[in-house]
Structure 1
Amino acid sequence: MPEFQETATDDSDVTLDITGVVAGGDGIGRQESGRVVFVTGAMPSERVTIRITDERRDFARGEVDRILTPSPDRVVPPCAFRIAGCGGCEWQHIAPHAQPGFKRDLVVDALRRIARIDEPNVADCVALAPQGYRTTVRVAIDSEGRPAFRKSLSHDLVTVDDCLVAHPTLAAMLCDARWPGAKEAVLRVGARTGEVLVDVKPLPDGFATPTFFHEEAAGRMWQISAGSFFQIRPDGADELARLVVDALAAHQVATVVDLYSGVGLFAGALHERGFDVRAAVEGGRFAAADARVNLEGVCDVIECDVAKWRGIPVDAVVADPSRRGLMTEGVATIERCAPRTVVLVSCDVAALGRDAKLLVAAGFALDHSTPLDLFPHTPHVEVVSTFVRL
């Protein structure tokens, strides 16, 4: 067990037993009064003293002051910049082997508490390599032109020359790159192609950068513009595509539409496996333009707000909405397609809970969910869920 620094407490400190984790990554416990307290930096099975930082009528928030009984899965954060205050990688104090289990717990809790599904069928979380995986990194630029990350809940900067989770190409840029006069930059790399895209703002004089790059994932090559989203790691895109393809294959569907298609990942992967993809619908201008290139000969690419699309009849819908989820409008579009199977890809567990509740109300039942740990050292988790028409 590693040693942990303990700080002195005072009469305002509260002692809590931490019983679980919640969406966002905080530990949760209850005071003797029954009031729920969300505790940043605490882990299940720990007893801690905390400083209350925010009090409401029904709950409070706090920060760990002293760890009285540490979890056997607690470790010293492996990154010196996290210790120095960097606001990323909020779960570096949790051993990597334990993080997927906690993320599965988050999914189960959201489906039970928000969607009101009593016994959700949730598979073990798929684990991926915990270091050197991020192929997109957003940085601030300090007064000397060096890359920096922001401190947690602050505009203050932590200047860095490395990053535990950044792809090695991007980690080298954090060490060597200088952009005097710039305020921020987005660094992107194709891990399997070696192509680099740097989007610096404001753009320094004489600085030129490509407008798109390529990545290989799920058996295909993808054009990805500076303004387009793509999964944070190609092995994660591989796994997501595999889970989506396997889910539809298990339900023996033939025709599919891909909603919130982005640059076309799922439509392309499904086409490779012999599914009849009828349309990919994407509201983002840059992503739709990329999809037209990536899905040439695969299906029609429809550039419009998914909520406003009229829909077409198909056996199945794949939907990969943004962090806010499908919401009522997205579920209505799915209903207009009259599918018997829906595969939902969620990047926020609370949104998953809300969307599952809406889909159940629309006449679907949750078949199963599979969490995927795309973002080790953070509380974020991707979830692929299959719903079937009752």
Structure 2
Amino acid sequence: MELEAGALVAGGDALGRMPSGKVVFIEGALPGETIEVELTDLRRDYAKAIATRVISASTNRVTPSCPHVADRCGGCQWQHLALGAQYEAKVRIAIESLVRIGRVAVNDDLVMRAASGGRLPGAGYRTTVRLAFDAHGRPGFRERSTNRVVPVGECLVAHPRLHRAIAAITSRPGSDVEVTLRCSAATEVVGAVVHGDERSVRGLEAVDVLGDDARLVETVHGTDLVVSMGSFFQSGVAAADLLVDAVCLLAGPEALSGTFGQVVDAYGGVGLFAATIVPTHVPVTLIESNPRAVADARVNLASRRATIIESTVEAWNAQPAGLVIADPARTGLGAAGVAVLAATRAPVIVLVSCDAAAGARDVRLLSDAGYELDDLLVLDLFPHTNHLEMVTRLCRINASDESRPVTRFFEGLAPPAA
């Protein structure tokens, strides 16, 4: 079947339409292309297809740098799309989500500011990967939408320090086991966590530390952070740096300096934001539910005026705040999380969303709770994938003018002095 491909959507596919008018999500196609497709799933309201031949190619189509793309490795969906065009697509997806789901009125100025967020280079940026193993025990990554494992010798987007471990680690054939690898870009120490029977994994001598409680040290914004293998951390230190830059910029120096009240770091993890951009004299409350991350945060914030609460945000008894930084899981804040954050009556909320639809829903809920979208940055922390990071600044509508931040994108990314 021959189809015309339209815009890229959040799942990474291009939209098309069958002769009947039914919507088709086309894997491997790019906007403006004429392609031959093979239908893989036919539903009442939509269909899914794979591009099997490109008849008329987009000018943004490039040859993938990684040979495993041809084997349908599911790690990178967009290696056939030029890096600049990947970022443009992510900005458009974020903006469209805010308009359609968040009910935000968008102008050209907001779009231009959103597109100034920045992106990572296309290789070596991931310091964390999760290996699966095929029937022969060879390490690799899963094919998109299936459980089939595509064996890999090395990975284009993995940090070079991980290549030796990826090549060395195997499993006993037929074992149901996976291995998470993480390295520190600062110290080059490599850690591993085995998900399943550790006795079935071979080659673990290629790593330096083992287990959820093993700790690495990473340096972000010039600050050393302790990160346990069992704690969530960004995909790499370059991603963490870029994200911290964006949050710092949108928060603004007044709010970060404690002028309007304490800083609340919700879903604070190991203290990525509280330890890097909140000045040491400013009171900060970090809320995190993962015990290992809480233990790491206690180390990372030991020299600061920090209160660390091991709890879900939804169960936290909200206190007045001058600034809230929130970095929830992919599902977003939801109604319960929004209710708690709004109860702080913070004049400024900086929201980090790794899913455009969830972030847009949260913006709409926060709007209903008395906040308005003031600024937006879209980041590409996962080149060659459809994943994006959306950082939004929301201001309380009835907050005084003095408590509304004046920082704008063109003022640079330098954090306030400690």
Q: Is residue 121 of structure 2 the alignment partner of residue 134 of structure 1? A: no
**Match in the other structure for 2:138:** 146
**Match in the other structure for 1:238:** 241
CA distance in structure 2 between the partners assigned to 1:238 and 1:275 by the alignment: 22
The answer to which of 344-353 and 192-201 deviates more is 192-201
**What amino acid is the match of 1:203?**
E
Q: Is contact 2:140-2:152 (8 Å) kept?
A: yes
Q: Is contact 1:356-1:366 (8 Å) kept?
A: yes
Shift of 1:250: 5.7
Q: Is residue 364 of structure 2 the alignment partner of residue 357 of structure 1? A: yes
1:37-65 CA distance string (max 9 Å, x none)? 22111111222232333333333222223
Shift of 1:93: 0.9
CA distance in structure 1 between the partners assigned to 2:294 and 2:379 by the alignment: 26
CA distance in structure 1 between the partners assigned to 2:16 and 2:322 by the alignment: 44
Shift of 1:275: 6.9
**Match in the other structure for 1:271:** 278
Q: Is residue 85 of structure 2 the alignment partner of residue 93 of structure 1? A: no
- The 1:65/1:142 distance shift into structure 2, 3 A limit, reads closer
The answer to which of 218-227 and 259-268 deviates more is 218-227
Shift of 1:372: 0.9
| TM-score computed with the length of structure 1 as normaliser | 0.91
Q: Is contact 2:250-2:375 (8 Å) kept?
A: no
**Match in the other structure for 1:5:** none
Q: Is residue 290 of structure 2 the alignment partner of residue 284 of structure 1? A: yes
**What amino acid is the match of 1:354?**
R
The answer to which of 165-174 and 35-44 deviates more is 35-44
Q: Is residue 56 of structure 2 the alignment partner of residue 64 of structure 1? A: no
CA distance in structure 2 between the partners assigned to 1:190 and 1:212 by the alignment: 10
- How many residues get paired? 376
Q: Is residue 223 of structure 2 the alignment partner of residue 220 of structure 1? A: yes
CA distance in structure 1 between the partners assigned to 2:59 and 2:227 by the alignment: 42
1:83-139 CA distance string (max 9 Å, x none)? 122111011111123211111111111111111113162421412111011100100
Shift of 1:179: 4.5
Match of 1:196 among 169, 190, 197: 190
1:220-246 CA distance string (max 9 Å, x none)? 111111210001111111111111112
Q: Is contact 2:255-2:348 (8 Å) kept?
A: no
- The 1:257/1:155 distance shift into structure 2, 3 A limit, reads same
CA distance in structure 2 between the partners assigned to 1:271 and 1:29 by the alignment: 47
- The 1:369/1:275 distance shift into structure 2, 3 A limit, reads farther
Q: Secondary structure at the match of 2:241?
A: helix
Q: Secondary structure at the match of 2:156?
A: coil
Q: Is residue 401 of structure 2 the alignment partner of residue 371 of structure 1? A: no
The aligned runs of 1:1-390 (5 Å cut-off) are 13=1, 15-119=2-106, 121-122=110-111, 123-124=114-115, 125-180=117-172, 183-200=177-194, 201-204=196-199, 209=210, 211-249=214-252, 252=255, 254=258, 255-272=262-279, 276-298=282-304, 299-390=306-397
1:192-229 CA distance string (max 9 Å, x none)? 12121111232138967261211111221111112100
Task: Note the aligned Cα RMSD (angstroms).
Answer: 2.0
**What amino acid is the match of 2:14?**
G
- The 1:167/1:98 distance shift into structure 2, 3 A limit, reads same
Q: Is contact 1:245-1:269 (8 Å) kept?
A: no
CA distance in structure 2 between the partners assigned to 1:228 and 1:294 by the alignment: 13
CA distance in structure 2 between the partners assigned to 1:58 and 1:277 by the alignment: 52
> Where in structure 1 are there 5+ consecutive unaligned residues?
1-12
**What amino acid is the match of 1:190?**
S
**What amino acid is the match of 2:219?**
E
- The 1:144/1:29 distance shift into structure 2, 3 A limit, reads closer
CA distance in structure 1 between the partners assigned to 2:147 and 2:46 by the alignment: 27
4+ runs deviating over 6 angstroms: 205-208
1:337-379 CA distance string (max 9 Å, x none)? 1111110011111111111111111111111211111100000
**What amino acid is the match of 1:158?**
V
**What amino acid is the match of 1:248?**
A
- The 1:178/1:54 distance shift into structure 2, 3 A limit, reads closer
CA distance in structure 2 between the partners assigned to 1:143 and 1:47 by the alignment: 37
Q: Is contact 1:148-1:157 (8 Å) kept?
A: yes
Q: Is contact 1:310-1:336 (8 Å) kept?
A: no
Q: Secondary structure at the match of 2:125?
A: coil
Shift of 1:154: 1.8
- The 1:16/1:116 distance shift into structure 2, 3 A limit, reads farther
CA distance in structure 2 between the partners assigned to 1:78 and 1:302 by the alignment: 45
Q: Percent of pairs identical after alignment?
A: 40
Q: Is contact 1:259-1:282 (8 Å) kept?
A: yes
**What amino acid is the match of 1:191?**
A
**What amino acid is the match of 2:142?**
R
Shift of 1:33: 4.6
Q: Is contact 2:322-2:347 (8 Å) kept?
A: yes
CA distance in structure 1 between the partners assigned to 2:371 and 2:281 by the alignment: 22
Q: Secondary structure at the match of 2:364?
A: helix
> Where in structure 2 are there 5+ consecutive unaligned residues?
398-418
Q: Is contact 2:134-2:148 (8 Å) kept?
A: no
